[in-house]
């Protein structure tokens, strides 16, 4: 029989999606499943974006430019300007989701066996993207005891080798919800300039910053123009995960010129989704004010309820809509599967994301789960209460 590639064998399963068959079986048994496992917001997509697709007058659904339509990129540049980020439309390449933007970034700046340093836990697909690109992830562990703050910069310095090409952060973070401060960004800026590295920031949750703290983009940091690469997306900002529209942004002309070659190889991003995304940029600030207020309330409910459970530790998110909870168990993979297969309260159970998949260090995060607080407050309270009862039974 022909052999599967080593790269294919090494591709990790999604810690979020691998439990789907067990959830489907739970549905077949008539159970209600509260999904705390995936960052699919229940917030409505802005009507202006949906209406733009309905109202289009296209007679041919043609290719767009490989870098995305000029009108969309112009409006994106205006969006960034409104966020105190000065970029031009030719600093932007529109991609098929933030995922493709990250793949383009890896392809642009790394060769096989190069290294990228990432504070962990991190978005699980970084492991997959790095494997697909032949890149080695070098983790630097952030701890729940420190609320997943940036590890000491000396820890990064110890890991830098001739193979190191970049430091990658997610800000605010998935899965931790941690929001890096301006001071932390400046520390990273200094180290990448000192060692002539790239700093990649996944900023798809930029709008979701809480407690009066503002997001500080790496593109706002002076002197970082040739080092900074931003990954962005409409998925979470406008609750448009299915649009699959993101972008790569950099003032480094060589980065954009090279990434464009990858964009040309896949031809173009989807046309109708760009129309929706361009229209979404006209979403009024009141939309975000309401959404952020809702997420703050959800965060508070989840954290407060989790902290009532004996033996549970939880990080306090300052952004995004995730938190990491440490449970009094040994193996969250087994626990998450057991929740779906063998446990319910009055026909209801919970689906969570085991956190080990958000680390690349073996054996770390085995007793942690990621919770996405993307359900209404009543459902969140129910879900955490089910988790509380489940832990009692599971320990027995």
Model's pTM, two decimal places? 0.96
| Confidence band of 396 (pLDDT split at 50, 70, 90) | confident
Q: What is the mean pLDDT of residues 3-28?
A: 89
Q: What is the pLDDT of residue 386?
A: 98
Q: What is the pLDDT of residue 340?
A: 96
Q: Is position 357 within any domain?
A: yes
Residue 170: HSE in the Cβ half-sphere, 13 Å Cα cutoff: 30
- Cβ 207 vs Cβ 237: under 8 Å: yes
CA dihedral (178, 100, 11, 235) positive or negative:
positive
- Looking at 242, 265, 280, the residue that finishes a domain is 280
The structure tokens listed for 205 are 């949750």
If one counts every other C-beta atom within 10 angstroms of the C-beta of residue 264, the result is 12
- Looking at 280, 313, 339, the residue that finishes a domain is 280
Q: What is the pLDDT of residues 322-365, one digit of tens each?
A: 999 999 999 999 999 999 999 999 999 999 999 999 999 999 99
Q: What is the pLDDT of residues 12-23, one digit of tens each?
A: 888 777 899 999
The structure tokens listed for 226 are 């040739």
**CATH code, domain with 231:** 3.40.640.10
Residues 230 and 296 both lie in one domain: no
Taking the C-alpha atoms of residue 361 and residue 383, their distance in angstroms, rounded to an integer, is: 29
- Give me the phi and psi of 275, to 5 degrees please: -60, -45
Which residue's entry shows tokens 């910053």?
A: 209
What percent of the chain is predicted at pLDDT more than 90? 96
Q: What is the pLDDT of residue 18?
A: 81
Domain count, the chain: 2
Residues 322 and 336 both lie in one domain: yes
For residue 291, give the nearest of 196, 213, 373 by alpha carbon: 373
What percent of the chain is predicted at pLDDT more than 70? 100
**CATH code, domain with 374:** 3.90.1150.10
Range of the domain at 170: 47-280
Residues 35 and 166 both lie in one domain: no
Instruction: Please give the DSSP secondary-structure letter assigned to residue 375.
Output: S
The structure tokens listed for 159 are 């890991």
């Amino acid at each position: 029989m022909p052999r599967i590639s080593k790269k294919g064998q090494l591709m990790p399963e999604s810690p979020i999606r691998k439990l789907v068959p067990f959830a489907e079986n739970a549905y077949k048994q008539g159970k209600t499943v509260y999904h705390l496992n995936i960052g699919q917001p229940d917030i409505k997509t802005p009507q202006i974006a949906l209406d733009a697709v309905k109202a289009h007058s296209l007679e041919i659904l043609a290719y767009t430019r490989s870098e995305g339509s000029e009108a969309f990129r112009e409006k994106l540049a205006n969006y960034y300007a409104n966020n105190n980020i000065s970029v031009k439309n030719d600093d932007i390449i529109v991609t098929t989701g933030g995922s493709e933007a990250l793949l383009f970034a890896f392809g642009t700046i790394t060769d096989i066996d190069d290294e990228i340093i990432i504070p962990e836990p991190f978005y699980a697909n970084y492991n997959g993207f790095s494997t697909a690109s032949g890149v080695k992830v070098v983790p630097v562990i952030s701890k729940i005891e420190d609320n997943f703050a940036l590890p000491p910069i000396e820890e990064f310095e110890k890991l830098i080798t001739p193979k190191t090409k970049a430091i990658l952060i997610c800000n605010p973070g998935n899965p931790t919800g941690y929001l890096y401060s301006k001071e932390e960004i400046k520390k990273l800026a200094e180290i990448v300039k000192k060692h002539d590295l790239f700093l990649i920031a996944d900023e798809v949750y930029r709008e979701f910053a809480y407690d009066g703290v503002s997001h500080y983009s790496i593109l706002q940091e002076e002197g970082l123009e040739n080092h900074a690469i931003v990954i962005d997306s409409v998925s979470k900002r406008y609750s448009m995960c299915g649009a699959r529209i993101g972008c790569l942004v950099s003032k480094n002309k060589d980065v954009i010129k090279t990434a464009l070659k990858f964009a040309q190889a896949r031809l173009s991003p989807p046309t109708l989704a760009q129309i929706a995304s361009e229209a979404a940029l006209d979403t009024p600030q009141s939309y975000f004010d309401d959404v952020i207020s809702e997420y703050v309330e959800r965060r508070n409910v989840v954290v407060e309820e989790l902290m009532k459970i004996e033996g549970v530790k939880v990080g306090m998110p300052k952004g995004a809509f995730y938190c990491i909870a440490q449970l009094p168990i040994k193996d969250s993979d087994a626990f998450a599967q057991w929740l779906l297969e063998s446990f319910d309260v009055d026909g209801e159970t919970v689906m969570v994301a085991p956190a080990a998949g958000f680390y690349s260090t073996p054996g770390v995060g085995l007793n942690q789960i990621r919770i996405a607080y993307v359900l209404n407050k009543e459902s969140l309270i129910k879900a955490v209460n089910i988790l509380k009862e489940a832990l009692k039974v599971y320990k027995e």
